[in-house]
């Protein structure tokens, strides 16, 4: 067993990283891991951190390895955001921390899981990081993760070493699910394929019946749109599913966080109105929770759109008889129906519309409106 076990389908990257651990000349102070969502960027980053801390170069069993993989190692800091962006203040605090010597381990490792979100209003958060990358502290390692090179500013790109992760083969992802999560092989294969090798999503699909049902609903959607009323209704359904999931996922947690904050501040939870200084703290928390909910809702919609995209892609593959594995092998009827009902041109138009909707939602267009424009296109063509 080694720390690299969970890094699936990335032999080249693992080879490069192991070399960096064992050969001092191959090591550097800043790494940029890129790869499509779900390819295991953060898993790879943690594995690398563990390998760096481990006396045996990543045995996967010692204390150093285990704590680093869990994210509890004293010298491994993991930064991830659940909001829309990482703020400049957070980044500055991190840069200060980076200047410290490692306390127990061999390296101080700082993992920024969403380096692409270093963009609140400007590039200020990214620029705050730049100084630290420019004048590296000995024995401090930065590991930045982003979907692609273009997602980080060029000055960061040029100061870090690039490790590209590829989309792992569905078979490898399925094998991981079977081995790590004890999922039945057939289900694991279905989930890996349906999630298009996105490890986290595949795991969710394999374990959550509700997620599977929702996915099936989404991919059956194009067949259900017959009138423009249906189109608007389908868009409203998609948007409301996102809302529901977002509330379901956040309500409880929001309340718990609020109670916790009140306890920390020593506020009386039963008071009808809180004193101003407590109100302002609560307000800040609520604001943060709101951006988290927004992000969550958008992610849900985006996932649904990716699923929708996959059926169209499969239908197109059927049209041309392309010898590729279908994403929706299990719902072949839906795919066939779509392929029979639509010309390749219409399918491509539809895919464009879906892509456009994703882009628009990212640019703050209300999801409902973007989805409506999309479903209307699915209904009557561009």
Partner 1 sequence: MSPPPVPPLVLISGPEEVLAERARASVVAELRHAAPDLEVIRVEGNTYAAGELVLHTSPSLFGGDKVLVIEGFEEATDALQDDLLSYLAAPEDDVTLVVSHRSGQRGKKVLDTLKKQSARVIDCPAIKSDREKSDFATHEFRRQGRKATPEAVRALVEAVGKDVRELASACGQLVADTDGVIDEVLVEKYHGGKVEASGFRVADAAVAGQTSEALRLLRHAIATGVDPVPIVAVLASQLRQLVKVGSAGRGSSAQLAKELGMAPWQVDKARRVVGGWDAPGLGRAIQAVAAADFEVKGGGRDPVYAVERAVLAITAARHGGAR
- Where does residue 184 rank: exposed (0-12), middle (13-18), buried (19+ CB within 10 A)? exposed
Window 179-218: residues binding partner 1 (CB under 8 A): none
Token look-up 């059956």 returns: 220
86 in contact with partner 1 (CB under 8 A): no
Report, in Å, the least distance between residue 153 CB and partner 1.
18
Q: Are 137 and 98 in contact (CB under 8 A)?
A: yes
Nearest to 118 by CA among 153, 154, 169, 77: 153
Dist CA 351 CA 46 (whole Å): 35
Dist CA 364 CA 370 (whole Å): 10
43 in contact with partner 1 (CB under 8 A): no
Report, in Å, the least distance between residue 352 CB and partner 1.
12
15 in contact with partner 1 (CB under 8 A): no
Q: State which residue, 276 or 321, has the beta carbon closest to partner 1.
A: 276
Among 231, 308, 309, 354, binds partner 1 (CB under 8 A): 231
Q: State which residue, 311 or 357, has the beta carbon closest to partner 1.
A: 357
348 in contact with partner 1 (CB under 8 A): no
Q: State which residue, 93 or 228, has the beta carbon closest to partner 1.
A: 228
- Quickly list H helices, the chain: 11-22, 41-53, 63-70, 88-98, 124-134, 154-157, 170-181, 185-194, 199-207, 209-224, 228-265, 276-320, 332-341, 344-362, 367-380
41 in contact with partner 1 (CB under 8 A): no
Q: State which residue, 229 or 283, has the beta carbon closest to partner 1.
A: 229
Q: Residues in contact with partner 1, total (CB under 8 A)?
A: 21
Backbone φ/ψ region at 57: left (φ over 0), alpha (ψ -120 to 50), beta:
left
Q: Would you call 153 helix, strand, or coil by DSSP? A: coil
Among 156, 228, 262, 314, binds partner 1 (CB under 8 A): 228
Report, in Å, the least distance between residue 372 CB and partner 1.
5
Q: Are 105 and 74 in contact (CB under 8 A)?
A: yes
Dist CA 24 CA 28 (whole Å): 9
Report, in Å, the least distance between residue 107 CB and partner 1.
41
Among 184, 229, 253, 322, binds partner 1 (CB under 8 A): 229
Among 227, 251, 329, 340, binds partner 1 (CB under 8 A): 227
241 in contact with partner 1 (CB under 8 A): no
Residues that bind partner 1 (CB under 8 A): 227-232, 359-360, 363-366, 368-370, 372-373, 376-377, 379-380
């Amino acid at each position: 067993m080694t720390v690299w076990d969970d890094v699936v389908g990335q032999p080249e990257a693992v080879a490069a990283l192991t070399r960096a651990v064992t050969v001092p000349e191959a090591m550097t102070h800043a790494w940029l891991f890129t790869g499509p969502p779900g390819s295991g960027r953060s898993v790879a980053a943690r594995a690398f951190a563990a390998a760096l801390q481990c006396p045996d170069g990543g045995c996967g069993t010692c204390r150093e390895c285990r704590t680093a993989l869990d994210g509890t190692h004293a010298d491994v800091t993991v930064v991830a955001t659940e909001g829309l962006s990482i703020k400049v203040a957070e980044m500055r605090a991190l840069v200060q921390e980076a200047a410290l010597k490692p306390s127990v381990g061999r390296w101080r490792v700082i993992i920024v899981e969403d380096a692409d979100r270093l963009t609140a209003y400007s590039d200020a958060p990214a620029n705050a990081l730049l100084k630290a990358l420019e004048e590296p502290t000995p024995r401090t390692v930065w590991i930045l993760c982003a979907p692609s090179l273009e997602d980080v500013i060029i000055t960061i790109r040029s100061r870090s070493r690039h490790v590209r992760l590829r989309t792992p083969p569905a078979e490898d992802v399925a094998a991981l699910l079977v081995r790590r999560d004890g999922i039945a092989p057939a289900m694991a294969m279905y989930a890996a394929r349906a999630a298009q090798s996105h490890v986290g999503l595949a795991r969710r699909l394999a374990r959550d019946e509700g997620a599977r049902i929702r996915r099936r609903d989404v991919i059956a959607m194009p067949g259900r749109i017959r009138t423009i009323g249906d189109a608007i209704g389908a868009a409203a359904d998609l948007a409301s599913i996102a809302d529901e999931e977002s509330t379901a996922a956040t309500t409880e947690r929001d309340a718990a966080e609020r109670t916790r904050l009140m306890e920390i501040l020593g506020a009386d939870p039963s008071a009808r109105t809180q004193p101003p200084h407590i109100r302002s703290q609560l307000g800040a928390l609520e604001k943060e929770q709101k951006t988290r909910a927004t992000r969550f809702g958008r992610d849900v919609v985006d996932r649904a759109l990716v699923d929708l995209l996959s059926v169209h892609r499969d239908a197109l593959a059927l049209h041309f008889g392309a010898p590729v594995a279908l994403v929706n092998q299990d719902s072949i009827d839906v795919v066939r129906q779509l392929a029979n009902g639509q010309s390749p041109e219409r399918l491509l138009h539809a895919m464009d519309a879906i892509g456009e909707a994703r882009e628009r939602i990212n640019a703050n267009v209300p999801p409902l409106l973007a989805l409506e424009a999309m479903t209307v296109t699915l209904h009557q063509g561009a």
